[in-house]
Structure 1
Amino acid sequence: MKLPKNYKVKQNELNSKVILVTGANKGFGLAISMDLAKAGATVIMLGRDLSSLEYAYDAVVDAGYKEPILYPLDLEGASPENYQELQDNIIEKFNRLDGLIHNAAILGTQMPIDQYDIKLWYSTLQINLSAPFMLTQFLIPALKKSDDARILFLSSSVGRKARAYWGAYSVSKFGLEGLAMTLSEELEKTKIKVNTINPGKMRTEMRRTAYPAEDASTLPKPEEKSSVIVYLLSKEAERINGEQLSID
C-alpha cells in the first residue's frame, strides 16, 4: 500500500501517547523520536549508550518538543529480568504503552554464510531478532492497556528478497517479518496493530558501512523520512494491520 510522502506532522496529533523507540540515540531512531515528540507524544528513548542518549535528549528538548524519557538498555545482553523491570516501570508510570517501534539493529558483516563468524552471527541475531521478540513479549501487557496501540518493526529490502552476502542481517530481517505477521494474526482481536516497514535508502552510519563507495550526499537524510512513522502511529492509520510497508 502507498504511504503519504512528506507527511506533515501536526502539533499534538499524538498528544498523551506513550511510545517507546529502540535505537533512539542516533540516525533514524533519533529522527523518529524528534517527530514523535513534535507531535506531542511522550517518547521513551531506549539505547545502550547513555552519553549518546543524553545528546539525543538535548536535541529533542532544544528543538522545543515534548521532553522525552531516557532508558539505557543493552539489547545484546538484556535479560528477562531487565525486560520485566521495563514493563513494571512503564505500567507504574503511565499504566499503558501506545506504541513500540523496533528500530535498533546492527549490520554484522557482509560475507558468505560458509565463512560467517559464529559469534557475530549470534550477536546480530540477538540484537536484531531475539531482543525485539523478548521486548515485545514483555510489553504486550502494557500495549493491551492502550485504547489504540501500534507495534512497528523496521525491516529492509534484504529481509523481503534474499541477497547474497547479507548473512545474519538479512536472516534477522526475514525473521522480523515472520514475527510481525504472526503477531498481527494473534493480536487480531485486540486493539494492537502490527506492521513492518522498510524505510529504504538513507544517509545513515549503517548505510555508509554497507556501501562505502556510495555518494552519501545523493541519499535522503533520516529526518526526510521519519514523519511517515508519525502517520503510522496516528488515527489516520488505525486500520493498517499485518502489512509489509515501504517508504520508498
Structure 2
Amino acid sequence: MTSTPATSFTHDQIRTYQAQPNSLADKIILVTGAGSGIGRVAALTYAQHGATVLLLGKTTSKLEEVYDEIEALGGPQPAILPLNLASASYTEMQQLENLISKEFGRLDGILHNAGILGELTPLEMYDIDTFAKVMQVNFTAVFMLTQALLPLVKAATSGSVVFTSSTVGTHPRAFWGAYALSKQGVEGMSDIFTQETQATTTLRFNCINPGGTRTNMRAHAFPGENPMSLKTPEDIMPGYLFFMSDDSIGVRGQVVALQPK
C-alpha cells in the first residue's frame, strides 16, 4: 500500500497502473469465467503477483488448463471451482461459500468476469428464453454470488468486488438488448452495494468496462472486425490489478472504462 490516498487516483492513472511484483501476495481472489478470455488472463496475472486464485467456470477442462499454467509460472497453488452460472442455485453458491470458508477463512477479492452476449436484435424480436439466460448469467447470478460470498469478503482486511460492465451498459445502444440491460443492472448493483457499505472502512465495489478486446465474445459481436486492431486482455490488466491491490482502498462506486474513446 502506498502513502498516496487511493482517492487521488484518476481513471487515467488506473488504466496505466504499475503493480509491484508481490502486490497481491497472500490475497485470495475468485475469478468467474476463468477458463478463457479476460478471465483466464486476469487469473494468471493475479497469480503472477502473488495471489491464490480460485478459478470458477462451467468447463472444468479449461479451468484445469489455467491451473496448469499458474503452476508452471510458479504461482501459489490455485483451486478449481466448477459452477455453471446459467443454472446454479443460491444453495450451491452458499455451499461454495462454506467450502471457501473452510479452506481459506476469507476471500479478499471477487472478479465477476463471466458473461454471455445473447442476441443482437431489436427488443421487440428478442427471444424470451435467450433474454432470461443472459440476465441470469450476467446479472442475477452475479447478485446471488456476491450476496452468498459477502461474509467472506467482509472478513478480509481490504475486500474488493469488481463487476464487469460495458460501454453499452453505461450508454445503452439499440439492438444490444439483454446484454446492455444486464450491464446497466450491474452498474446499478455496484452503486447500491457501495451506498449500503459506506460505513465499512475498506470494503469496496467497482465496475470495469474493458472496452473492445480481442476475445471470442467480441468476435461474435463484431464478426467483420479485424481482431488484430484490438488490444489483448494482457494490455488492459493494469486496471484489473489496481482494483485488487490495496492501492485501491478508498476507491468506491467507480465505473472505469479501460479504453475510453
Q: Same fold (TM over 0.5)?
A: yes
Does the alignment pair 1:65 with 2:75?
yes
Contact persistence 1:35–1:227 (CA under 8 A): no
Q: Judge conservation of contact 1:128–1:173 (CA < 8 Å) in 2.
A: yes
Does the aligned pair in 2 maintain the 1:6–1:224 contact within 8 Å? Answer: no
Runs of 5+ unmatched residues, structure 2 = 1-9
2:146 aligned with 1:136? yes
Q: Note if 1:173 corresponds to 2:183.
A: yes
CA deviations over 1:190-237 (Å, ceiling 9, x no partner) = 231001110111100000000000000111110111232111111211
Alignment of 1:118-197 (within 5 A): 118-190=128-200, 191-197=202-208
Q: Distance in 2 between matches of 1:148 and 1:69?
A: 21
Asked if 2 retains the 8 angstrom alpha-carbon contact of 1:111 and 1:165, the reply is yes
Q: Cα deviation per residue 1:28-77 (whole Å; 9 max; x = unaligned)?
A: 00111011001101110100010111111122222232221110000011
1:214 and 2:216 matched = no
| Aligned partner letter, 1:2 | H
1:244 alignment partner in structure 2: 255
- Work out whether 1:2 is the aligned partner of 2:11: yes
Q: Distance in 1 between matches of 2:64 and 2:237?
A: 20
Alignment correspondent of 2:45: 35
Amino acid at match of 1:148: S
Q: Which amino acid aligns with 1:218?
A: S
- Counterpart of 1:74 in structure 2 is 84
Structure 1 residue runs of 5 or longer lacking an equivalent are none
Cα distance in 2, alignment partners of residues 216 and 140 from structure 1? 37
Deviation at 1:11, TM superposition (A): 2.1
Given that residues 194 and 241 in structure 1 are in contact (C-alpha distance below 8 angstroms), is that contact kept between their aligned partners in structure 2? Answer: yes
Structure-2 residue corresponding to 1:203: 214
Is 1:20–1:44's contact at 8 Å kept on the other side of the alignment?
yes
1:50 aligns with 2:63: no
Query: Which residue in the other structure is 1:24 paired with?
Result: 34
The amino acid across from 2:121 in the alignment is M
Give, in whole Å, the separation in 1 of the partners of 2:19 and 2:251.
Answer: 18
How big is each residue's C-alpha offset from its partner over 1:140-182, in whole Å with a ceiling of 9 and x where there is no partner?
1111111100010010000010110000000000000000000
Deviation at 1:132, TM superposition (A): 0.4
**Aligned structure 1 segments of 4 or more residues deviating by more than 4 angstroms:** none
Secondary structure in structure 1 of the residue aligned to 2:54 = strand
SS in 2 for 1:151: strand
Identical pairs, percent: 38
| Post-superposition offset of 1:6 | 4.3
Normalising by the residue count of structure 2, what TM-score does the alignment of the two structures yield?
Answer: 0.92
